[in-house]
Amino acid sequence: MSHLENQTVLITGASRGIGAEAAKAFADAGANVVLLARSEDTIAELAGEIGDKALAVPCDVSRYWEVEAAVGAAVKTFGGLDILINNAGVIEPIAHLSNSDPDEWGKVIDINLKGVYNGMRAALPVMEAAGRGTILTISSGAAHNALEGWSPYCTSKAGAAMLTMCAHKEAAPKGIRVMGLSPGTVATQMQKEIKASGVNPVSQLEWGAHIPADWPARALIWMCSDDAAGFAGQEISLRDEGVRRRIGLID
């Protein structure tokens, strides 16, 4: 994984789950990692575990100026920004439309959709100036399939998937790779929230049905390699056994 040596990756939602696993995996591969999350103490602790190659930046991705400042901190500390991973996302509140809270519904859109836009908007000028870069966004099967009680999550993920395609069309001619990763169900805190809701078939899945969080992290590293170049502009699904084999997750 020498292709990541001294590269700088900014990861949103880095305090837990896929984001935290990705931070550790990219650091192990030699990259500088910039950890963004609202949980200041948690990302500070993770950055301390990783060492000098990590920078923790408290950030609410729904606020553009905070994301812009975080990108600026990455450039100031490490000299540039090579990879952006739009991972921050929430699923709660899980509720039927008829009794959903409008403000809480909107917060999901702010984080899951506007957060992706804010990351792209802040990172693209830096990458365009460098003539290269990679933007990876965590997608979901919910981007393409409606699920009971998940209207804000499905809507926001569908919008983020479209943003990925738009960004690819605009950025590919400038040397920037843009892709999405649909990991399937992952053994993270989000799945515990889904299980507790008891709503729709996903909540009925047994814990053993979910893949470990390090699988998406390893997939994200692979997506930055030459082997994944042909997938630019696409959404890669970890449900696909062929993809799992290509990444090296299964034999």
Which residues are known to be catalytic? 153
Note the helical H segments in the chain: 17-28, 40-50, 64-78, 102-109, 115-130, 151-171, 189-197, 214-223, 241-247
**Phi and psi, residue 113, nearest 5°:** -110, -55
Determine how β-strand 54-58 pairs with β-strand 8-11. Answer: unpaired
Separation between Cα atoms, residue 12 and residue 197, nearest integer Å = 25
Q: Which residues pair with 138 in a beta bridge?
A: 181
Residues sharing a CB contact under 8 Å with residue 213, sequence separation 6 or more, in sequence order? 17, 18, 20, 21, 186, 187, 188
Give which of 189, 160, 158, 182 is closest to 231, Cα–Cα.
182
Question: Measured between alpha carbons, how far is residue 245 from residues 104, 138, 228, 241 in Å?
Answer: 39, 20, 13, 6
Residues sharing a CB contact under 8 Å with residue 77, sequence separation 6 or more, in sequence order? 32, 34, 55
